[in-house]
């Protein structure tokens, strides 16, 4: 079923679970098309309030009688969209199925929307939201037309849906071809419904083992995702004799072809060779002639230059520690801190509170970048975005430097919600052991002399069970641990899997199991010097009360 037939025939939409971050982005897409949007969610939230203000009609009752009259009368002209969090015995879902409604998963609808676009998809256990949000921010800063469906609220745009239509059409052979940026979610193998033109894989740390059963199946799902990249380039020639798959619009940037932008940056008059490499010591995949060179540039071949060889329509940008192969000949380029990475960060330092690094592309220095976000993990996310925006799309270095410096991230991604002379509160969506480890490391780097209290709400009984030891190890690195009960989301309890059980594994004498009320009492009696709020459940409902509590503490101490 084509995108036009599957979407254009519907006159309105109804969302079961409209308040979810992914669902609400699609709801905003239909609102932008001036189509009526209806929806159900279990509880009101700031997101549902914003959607209602934007024109959506939302109910918080799951009773069939509370389905909108327009939806019931126009059931065959309504596209029904479902979130995985909705149980199969949900009264409205059951009734709709019985009455012949066309119900699609969120991932299926995203696949329809992206089908005829130039799709940039960001996959990985961690970093999807930050990286995709950064790509959208950079495209906007370069005045490129695009649409972005994000898994978080962009702090720069205050939305999880961003669309620019009055800028530059990047592809000269098809000015109407829209760039769509989205997250490729591995849950329920949702990302297998996409066929991206460009893709990123940030990490393949096992997760969702309730779906995948084992690590091998989880990894294989990413291999399959990489094989879905739809534009195939079989051979690249170093002499640039091969035709590019996607031709960047010439004249878009000051009359220059952005695929041939100047390598210089700042006050540099010419590109600097990466001094890390000794002459003749560059990593290389092959020493064969250009006519025999294969399409895969490999892990860090500095002889391979995307702007020279122009494989703009088929690419995978992948973190350097990930080793997967695909059946397609696509440009697979690595990123990271290692000398063999195609897109590399060198000389990473904290300068005046910001993470800064030299951007090295295929062995050549292109400029010094200042990140708007803290943490080594965000340096990695920035490299991935640069791989897409500069390496494949050819966007100018100067504009990218400015965009990265002005990037504020996404809500609940290393978001500083309180910062005074005495207290700091940082909120983060971290719900995987590796994510917790990364943020604790970053906070210690930025604030080496502060006592770090971590408030963590485990998300899902199955995830807590599968990674209990890893959670315990990562949480043990905190100075003080505050643990909340497990947030069940879509799951039923698993006997024996509780926060009390997890707390016993944590090797830290300063550990406590607290309710929301007890947390506020602890803050009132002895406010933590630096509080990390971590988790993917409803812990976000504590953010505003905690912020106000610290505000009152600060005022009372003046």
Based on the domain organization, do 203 and 175 belong to the same domain?
A: yes
Mean pLDDT of 186-195: 87
Let me know whether 362 and 493 are in one domain.
Answer: no
CA distance 144 to 170: 6
Sign of CA dihedral 400, 123, 252, 114: negative
Q: What is the pLDDT of residue 479?
A: 97
User: In whole angstroms, what separates CA 441 from the centre of its chain?
Assistant: 20
Domain C-terminal end among 106, 132, 161: 106
For residues 373 and 371, give the distance between their C-alpha atoms in angstroms, rounded to a whole number: 5
When pLDDT is cut at 50, 70 and 90, the band that residue 175 belongs to is low
Residues 274 and 389 in one domain: yes
Look at residue 111 and tell me if it is in a domain: no
Predicted pLDDT of residue 132: 97
212: pLDDT confidence band, cut at 50, 70 and 90? confident
Looking up tokens 């969506």 gives: 429
Cα–Cα dist 535/436, whole Å: 9
Chain segment 486-523, per-residue pLDDT in tens? 999 888 999 999 999 999 999 999 999 999 999 999 99
Give residue 9's pLDDT band: very low, low, confident or very high (50, 70, 90).
confident
Distance (Å, rounded) from C-alpha 466 to C-alpha 423?
Answer: 35
Of 499 and 257, the one with more pLDDT: 499
Paired tokens of 200? 């990123």
Place of tokens 């962009």: 154
How far CA 343 is from CA of 281, 302, 407, in Å, comes to 17, 10, 20
359 and 211 inside one domain: yes
Same domain, 255 and 159: yes
Q: How confident is the model at residue 532 (pLDDT cuts 50, 70, 90)?
A: very high
Which range marks the domain in which residue 315 is found?
117-410
Question: How many Cα atoms within 13 Å fall on the side-chain side of residue 395?
Answer: 28
> For every residue of 142-210, which 3-state class applies, written as one string?
CCECEEEEEEEEECCCCEEEEEECCCECCECCCCCCCEEEEEECCHHHHHHHCCCCEEEECCCCCCCHH
328 and 266 in one domain?
yes
pLDDT computed for residue 558 by the predictor: 59
- Between CA 490 and CA 88, with CA 497 as vertex, the angle to 5 degrees is 20
User: Which residue has better confidence, 245 or 127?
Assistant: 127
**3-class SS at 235?**
coil
Judge whether 29 lies within some domain: yes
Would you state the pLDDT for residue 267? 34
- 283-330 pLDDT, tens digit each: 222 222 222 223 333 333 334 444 444 445 578 999 999 988 766 667
121, 90: one domain: no
Question: Domain check: are 276 and 292 in the same one?
Answer: yes
For 1-9, the CB contacts below 8 A with 24+ separation are 1/112, 2/115, 2/116, 3/112, 3/113, 3/115, 3/116, 4/116, 6/112, 7/79, 7/109, 7/112, 7/113, 9/77
pLDDT at 400: 98
What pLDDT score was predicted for residue 328? Answer: 65
What are the tens digits of pLDDT across the range 56-113? Answer: 999 999 999 999 999 999 999 999 999 988 888 999 999 999 999 999 999 999 999 9
CATH number of the domain enclosing 482:
3.90.190.20
Between 282 and 407, name the one with better pLDDT.
407
Q: What pLDDT sits at residue 186?
A: 85
pLDDT at site 6: 61
For the chain, percent of residues with pLDDT exceeding 70: 82
Asked whether residue 36 falls in the same domain as residue 93, the answer is: yes
Please check whether residue 53 lies inside any domain of the structure: yes
Residue 180 lies in a domain: yes
- Strand-strand pairing, 118-123 and 452-457: unpaired
Give how many domains the chain has, as a whole number: 3
Same domain, 271 and 387: yes
**CATH label of the domain that carries residue 88:** 3.40.50.720
The reported pLDDT for the residue numbered 177 is 79
Q: Is residue 95 part of a domain?
A: yes
Q: Considering the chain, what is the average pLDDT of its residues?
A: 83
Give domain status of residue 487, yes or no.
yes
Q: Is 353 left (phi over 0), alpha (psi -120 to 50) or beta?
A: left
Contact status, residue 531 vs residue 426, Cβ threshold 8 Å: yes
pLDDT of residue 372: 83
**pLDDT value, residue 289:** 28
What pLDDT shows up at residue 543?
Answer: 93
Start-end of H helices in 301-453: 306-309, 376-386, 397-406, 433-446
Pair (271, 390) in one structural domain: yes
Quick check: pTM over 0.85? no
In a domain, 354, yes or no: yes
Handedness of CA 73, 74, 76, 79 (dihedral sign): negative
Residue 189 and residue 48 in one domain: no
Which pair of tokens denotes residue 42? 């279990």
Domain stops at, among 388, 410, 432: 410
Residue 112 lies in a domain: no
Instruction: Indicate if the pLDDT at residue 243 is higher than 50.
Output: no
CATH code of the domain in which 150 resides: 3.40.1190.10
Query: Which of 106, 140, 173 is the endpoint of a domain?
Result: 106
């Amino acid at each position: 079923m084509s995108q036009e037939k599957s979407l254009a025939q519907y006159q309105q939409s109804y969302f079961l679970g409209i308040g979810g971050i992914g669902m609400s982005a699609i709801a905003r897409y239909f609102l932008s098309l001036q189509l009526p949007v209806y929806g159900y969610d279990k509880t009101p939230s700031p997101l549902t309030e914003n959607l209602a203000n934007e024109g959506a009609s939302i109910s918080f009752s799951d009773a069939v009688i509370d389905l909108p009259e327009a939806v019931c009368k126009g059931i065959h002209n309504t596209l029904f969209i479902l979130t995985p969090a909705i149980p199969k015995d949900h009264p409205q879902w059951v009734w709709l199925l019985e009455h012949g409604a066309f119900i699609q998963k969120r991932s299926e609808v995203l696949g329809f929307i992206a089908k005829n676009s130039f799709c940039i998809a960001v996959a990985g256990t961690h970093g999807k939201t930050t990286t995709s949000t950064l790509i959208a921010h950079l495209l906007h800063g370069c005045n490129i037309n695009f649409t972005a469906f994000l898994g978080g609220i962009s702090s720069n745009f205050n939305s999880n849906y961003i669309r620019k239509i009055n800028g530059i059409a990047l592809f000269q052979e098809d000015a109407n071809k829209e760039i769509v940026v989205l997250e490729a979610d591995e849950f329920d193998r949702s990302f297998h419904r996409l066929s991206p033109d460009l893709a990123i894989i940030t990490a393949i740390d096992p997760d969702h083992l309730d779906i995948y059963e084992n690590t091998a199946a989880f990894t294989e799902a990413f291999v399959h995702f990489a094989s879905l990249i739809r534009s195939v380039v079989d051979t690249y020639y170093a002499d640039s004799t091969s035709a590019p798959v996607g031709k960047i619009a010439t004249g878009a940037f000051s009359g220059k072809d952005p695929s041939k932008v100047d390598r210089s940056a700042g006050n540099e008059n010419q590109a600097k060779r990466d001094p890390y490499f000794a002459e003749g010591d560059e990593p290389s995949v092959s020493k064969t002639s250009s006519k025999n060179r294969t399409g895969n540039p490999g892990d860090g071949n500095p002889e391979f230059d995307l702007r020279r060889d122009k494989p703009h329509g088929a690419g995978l940008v992948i973190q350097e520690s990930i080793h997967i192969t695909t059946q397609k000949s696509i440009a697979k380029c690595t990123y990271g801190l290692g000398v063999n990475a195609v897109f590399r960060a060198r000389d990473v330092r904290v300068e005046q509170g910001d993470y800064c690094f030299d951007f090295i592309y295929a062995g050549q220095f292109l400029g010094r970048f200042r990140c708007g976000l803290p943490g080594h993990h965000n340096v990695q996310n920035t490299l991935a975005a640069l791989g897409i925006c500069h390496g494949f799309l050819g966007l100018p270095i100067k504009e990218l430097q400015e965009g990265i410096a002005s990037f504020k991230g996404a809500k609940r991604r290393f978001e500083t919600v309180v910062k005074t002379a005495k207290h700091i509160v940082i909120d983060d969506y971290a719900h995987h052991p590796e994510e917790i480890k990364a943020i604790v490391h970053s906070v210690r780097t930025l604030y080496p002399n502060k006592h770090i209290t971590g408030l963590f709400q485990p998300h899902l009984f199955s995830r807590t069970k599968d990674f209990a030891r890893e959670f315990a190890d990562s949480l043990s690195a905190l100075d003080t641990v505050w643990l909340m009960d497990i947030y069940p989301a879509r799951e039923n309890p698993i006997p024996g899997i509780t926060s009390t059980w997890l707390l016993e594994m944590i090797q830290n004498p300063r550990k406590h199991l607290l309710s929301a009320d007890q947390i506020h009492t602890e803050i009132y009696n002895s406010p933590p010097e630096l509080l990390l709020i971590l988790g993917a459940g409803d812990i976000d409902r504590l953010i505003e009360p905690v912020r106000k509590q610290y505000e009152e503490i600060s005022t009372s101490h003046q």
